């Protein structure tokens, strides 16, 4: 019977995901350049799109410096191999000032890593939808916006999903792959395969606010701020308790400072607006006040801690 079962199994097996070899990344900031780096380092041809030449030049310089650090660790006993790695990776990257013009290279995948402004994202994807090849998959790297709400601007909702990388992308090992109710199985499989191809551990999630990590992390940070407001514990004691009691590498206030109080507040305000009956999403006054004072965390030198 095994001789009959084997061919039947091969006939019924799921076809392999569509290979992604050419990628366009929108955004030359920290997230965009990180995604460009890991994609180019794993053999993908990547076009990085930025709105100014100075941003693209800065992004390319940042990528090269990051690759030098990687090569120093990975090829410490073979410097020539390290130089080849840097050269081949940089050779896989091209740049463009126009997202629409970049579609002429017929990318298999477009990843958006631009500011968290849903109207901006929709405008960009609407323009690209008209210019991109029909089979091009669109993905957003948003950390807080609903993928379906962004995809509404296009006519390829079945070829639209989420690829949420974490900062710094070359170091962090996770990518969340997000599907909307309209994301096709083929698209979802291709996005998961791409995440694996760039060396990340892939987790999958439905299109829920914050996906997995931020859906759990943001309410946790907000509740820590509420404890502070209620006078139940100090910043220092809450951070210490979570590090020593829960084994977390950072306390919630250290994490808020690292993420950026403006970013956390922006996410909270957006979720509260979309889900007004969910108390976990409500903004916290102590965070809002610090944002108004320009105390944004590590990037401003002052948040809940001083830097």
C-alpha distance across the termini of the chain, in Å: 70
176 is catalytic: yes
Alpha helices in 79-172 (DSSP H): 79-91, 99-102, 118-131, 147-151
Burial (CB < 10 A; 0-12, 13-18, 19+), residue 122, is middle
Question: What's the CA gap between 86 and 253, in Å, rounded?
Answer: 37
Question: What's the CA gap between 48 and 89, in Å, rounded?
Answer: 13
Which one of the listed residues 214, 254, 265, 268 is annotated catalytic? 214
Other CB atoms within a 10 A radius of the CB of residue 79 amount to 11
Question: What's the CA gap between 273 and 118, in Å, rounded?
Answer: 14
Which one of the listed residues 164, 254, 265, 268 is annotated catalytic? 164
Contact 173, 190 (CB under 8 A): no
Q: What DSSP designation does 172 have?
A: -
Contact 96, 123 (CB under 8 A): no
164 is catalytic: yes
Q: Which residues make Cβ contacts (< 8 Å) with residue 98, sequence separation at least 6? A: 49
Closest CA to 70 of 82, 88, 55: 82
Contact 143, 214 (CB under 8 A): yes
Q: What DSSP designation does 294 have?
A: T
- Phi, psi dihedral angles at 178 (to 5 degrees): -115, 135
Element (H, E) at 229: helix 213-229
Catalytic residue annotation: 143, 164, 176, 214
């Amino acid at each position: 019977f095994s001789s009959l079962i084997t061919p039947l199994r091969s006939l019924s097996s799921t076809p392999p995901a569509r290979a992604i070899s050419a990628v366009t990344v929108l955004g030359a900031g920290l997230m965009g350049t990180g995604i460009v780096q890991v994609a180019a380092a794993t053999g993908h041809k990547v076009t990085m799109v930025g709105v100014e030449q100075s941003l693209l030049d800065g992004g390319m310089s940042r990528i090269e410096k990051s690759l030098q650090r990687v090569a120093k660790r990975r090829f410490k006993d073979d410097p020539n191999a390290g130089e080849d790695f840097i050269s081949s990776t940089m050779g896989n990257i091209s740049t463009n000032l126009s997202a629409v013009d970049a579609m002429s290279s017929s990318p298999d995948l477009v990843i958006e890593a631009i500011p968290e402004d849903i109207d901006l994202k929709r405008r960009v994807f609407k323009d690209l939808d008209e210019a991109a090849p029909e089979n091009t998959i669109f993905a957003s790297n948003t950390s807080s916006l609903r993928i379906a709400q962004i995809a509404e601007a296009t006519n390829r909702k079945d070829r639209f999903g989420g690829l949420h990388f974490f900062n710094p992308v070359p170091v962090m090992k996770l990518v969340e792959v997000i599907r909307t109710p309209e994301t096709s199985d083929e698209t979802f499989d291709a996005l998961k395969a791409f995440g694996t191809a760039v060396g990340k551990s892939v987790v999958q999630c439905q299109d829920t606010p914050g996906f997995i990590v931020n859906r759990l992390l943001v309410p946790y940070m907000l509740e820590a701020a509420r404890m502070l407001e209620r006078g139940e514990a100090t910043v220092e004691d809450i951070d210490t308790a979570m590090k020593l009691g829960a084994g977390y590498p950072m306390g919630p206030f250290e994490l808020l400072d690292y993420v950026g109080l403006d970013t956390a507040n922006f996410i909270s305000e957006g979720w509260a607006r979309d889900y007004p009956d969910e108390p976990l999403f409500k903004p916290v006054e102590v965070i809002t006040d610090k944002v108004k004072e320009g105390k944004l965390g590590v990037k401003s030198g002052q948040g809940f801690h001083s830097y």
